[in-house]
């Protein structure tokens, strides 16, 4: 998901400032909104979101994209 203040989807730090690394669905008030979420959970949720009625991305494309990108995000990057 592209992150930008203009999209209104930036997460927030503990001091209320914008966090440019995480989205508002994942990070609010300096904490992850779902702290027990695993990378596999996130991949599954992302595929469901990308293939929903609003976006209609083909399942194979959504699956490839989620598996390629999600594990590289800062939350799970090792």
Per residue in 17-58, pLDDT (tens digit) is: 999 999 999 999 999 999 999 999 999 999 998 998 876 899
Query: Six-digit token pair at 15?
Result: 């001091």
The residues spanned by each domain of the chain are: 1-33, 37-78
**In the predicted model, is pLDDT for residue 77 greater than 90?**
no
Q: State residue 78's pLDDT score.
A: 62
Cα distance between residue 63 and residue 44, in whole Å: 8
How high is the pLDDT of residue 3?
87
Which pTM was predicted?
Answer: 0.83
Beta bridge partners of 11: 19
Q: Is 76 a residue whose pLDDT tops 90?
A: no
H-helix or E-strand spanning residue 43: helix 39-50
For residues 45 and 63, give the distance between their C-alpha atoms in angstroms, rounded to a whole number: 11
């Amino acid at each position: 998901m592209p992150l930008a203040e203009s999209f209104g989807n930036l997460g927030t730090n503990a001091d209320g400032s914008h966090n440019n690394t995480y989205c508002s669905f994942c990070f609010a008030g300096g904490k992850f909104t779902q702290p027990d979420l695993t990378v596999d959970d996130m991949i599954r949720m992302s595929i469901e979101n990308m293939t929903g009625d609003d976006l209609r991305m083909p399942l194979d494309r959504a699956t490839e994209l989620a598996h390629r990108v999600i594990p590289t995000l800062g939350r799970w990057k090792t």
